[in-house]
Chain A
Amino acid sequence: MNAPERTASFLLDEDNGEMKIVYTADTKIANSGTFRFNREDHTVANLFRMQLLRDNSVRFAGYFHPHPLLNYIDLKIQTNSSTVAPIEVLSAAIEDLSNETDHLISQVTDSIEEWRKQNDAGAISQF
C-alpha cells in the first residue's frame, strides 16, 4: 500500500521537474554551499567527500544521507577563499575521479590479460 516505487532509489522523477543536482549557497558561512544529489547514495557521496578532502582549497566537505527511504544525499562544501567556488572544486573532484576510473579500467584489462598469459589457456571456460 505505502510501499515506495521499486525505481524510487535510482530513477529521477523527471515528470515532476526533479533536477539531478540542486545547489543552495549557505547564507551564514562564506564560500560554502550544499549540493543535493537526487537519487544518489553513499556510493558516490563518500567517493566525492574523500576526493574533496584531498583538495587543499577545501576547508570542509561532508555528506548527509538523512534516512534510508529518502533517496538523496546532501553534500556540503566550504572552500578556503572566495576565489574558488564550491562548484569549481566539485567539478575538479569529479574530473579527477573520472580519470582515476579510466586508469582503473585499463589497469584491470591489462592485468587480466597478463594473468591469463601467465596461467595458460586451460582455464578458459568450464561451461
Chain B
Amino acid sequence: MPNQRFPKIKILHVSPHEIKFILSETDVSMANTVRRIMIAEVPTLAIDLVEFHDNSTVLNDEYIAHRLGLIPIRYQPPDSIKGGDCHGAFLPHRECVCYERCPRCSVEFELDVEFDAAMRHSMALNEETDVLAPLTVTSRDLRSNNESVHPAHFLHNEQDESQDDGIAIVKMGGGQKLKLKAIARMGISKEHAKWCPVAVATYRFWPDIIINEEQVATLTMEQKQELVDICPDRILEIDPVTGMLQAVEGAWDMATYTEDLKFCQDALKKRPEDDDFVRVEPSKDKFIFSVETTGCMDADEVLLSALRVLKNRLNYLAQEVENLKETQ
C-alpha cells in the first residue's frame, strides 16, 4: 500500500474510431503496459474457421479464409450504439463447456453469392448493369446468426470515397460462385494479429520545455529571434511586452524535432560550457496517447477493456502469489 500512485487521465479527443488522452503522474512502465495490452490482449471477435461449400472464384479456399479472418467483427450490445467489449458477452472457445461450438462462444456467418443470380437480380430491378463487369463480394454479403454481431463498417465519410459498399473479399465473373460458412470466435492478438482491436496504439513523452531566463537575458533581441526562427516546429515566441523568450501555447503538441534548436544555441553561447538557453526534455511521468481502432470496438471501449484485462491479470497473479505463500 505505501507505494501506490494515483495517475491522472485527461481526454483530448474521443470519436468512435479514435481516442487521444494524456496519462500523467505514473511512469513509463504503466504507460507501456497499457499500450501493450491494447495491442495484444484485448479480446475481440474474428473469423477463425471457414467451411467452404462451393468456391469457383479465382482465389483458392485458404486465401479467402485468410481474407475473411482479417475482417474486423463488431459486437454491438443490443441496447447500445457503441462497438462494445465482447468480454463477458462471449466465452473464449477453449473455456466453453459445449461439445464443438455454441452461440455462447461463437458466431456463424453465411455467405452465398452467385454471379449469374446477382446479375439476374439487378436486371430484374431494372438497374443499369454491365454484364461483363466483375462483381465484388464484400463483407456486406456476410449474414450473421447473431443480431449484435456484424462485420465492421466504413464511416460515412469513408464510404463516400469507397467504390465498394463493404470490405472486398473477392471479385467474381460470369458463372462463378462462392458459398461458405464462417465461424467467428473470441480471441486475443497474442494468438493471431486478426484479433487486434487497434490499428495504432502509441504514446509519446510529454515535452518539458525549460527556459533558462537568466541565460536568455544575456541574449540580444536578434539572437532570441534567431532561436525562435530556427525551430521547425515553432515552439518558441518572444513575449511582445517583456521581450522574454517563452513557449507558445500548445507547444507540447508541436514539439517533435529540437536538434536544430540545440545546434543554434550552442553557436550562440559565449563559452561552450554555459547552460542551455532552452531545453526540451521528455517528461518522465506524462504521456500523450493516441489510439486508433480497426472498427471492431469503439476507441474508449478498447482503453477500458485494456484496463480491465490488466486488473484481472493482477488479481489473478495476486491470488497465485497467495497460493505460493501457503505452500512455502
Contact = CB atoms under 8 A, between A and B. Distances in A.
B191 A50 contact: no
Interface string B99-140: 000000000000000000000000000000000000000000
A100 B1 CA distance: 10
Given A44-B313, A109-B304, A103 B7 contact: yes
Contacts of A108: 9, 21, 300, 303-304, 307
Interface string A27-59: 000000000010000111011011100110000
A97 B321 CA distance: 14
A100 B4 contact: yes
B308 A9 contact: no
Interface size range on B against A: 35 or more
B220 interface: no
Contact of A98 (B27, B32, B318, B320): B318
A118 to B, nearest CB: 9
A126 B9 contact: no
Contacts of A51: 3, 29
Given A96-B4, A105-B311, A127-B16, A43 B33 contact: yes
A43 B41 contact: yes
Contact of A43 (B11, B21, B37, B318): B37
A93 B155 CA distance: 43
A18 interface: no
B155 A127 contact: yes
Nearest to B317: A94
B156 interface: yes
Given A11-B94, A95-B318, A50 B27 contact: yes
B33 A91 contact: no
Nearest to A108: B9
A3 interface: no
B11 A101 contact: no
21 contacts: A20-B320, A21-B320, A21-B324, A42-B32, A44-B313, A47-B30, A50-B29, A55-B3, A87-B325, A87-B328, A91-B322, A94-B318, A95-B318, A100-B5, A100-B7, A103-B6, A105-B308, A108-B307, A111-B21, A112-B300, A114-B11
Interface of A: 6-7, 9-11, 20-21, 23, 37, 42-44, 46-47, 49-51, 54-55, 87, 90-105, 107-109, 111-112, 114-116, 123-127
7 tightest A-B CB contacts, nearest first: A50-B29, A115-B11, A98-B314, A107-B9, A96-B4, A43-B36, A20-B320
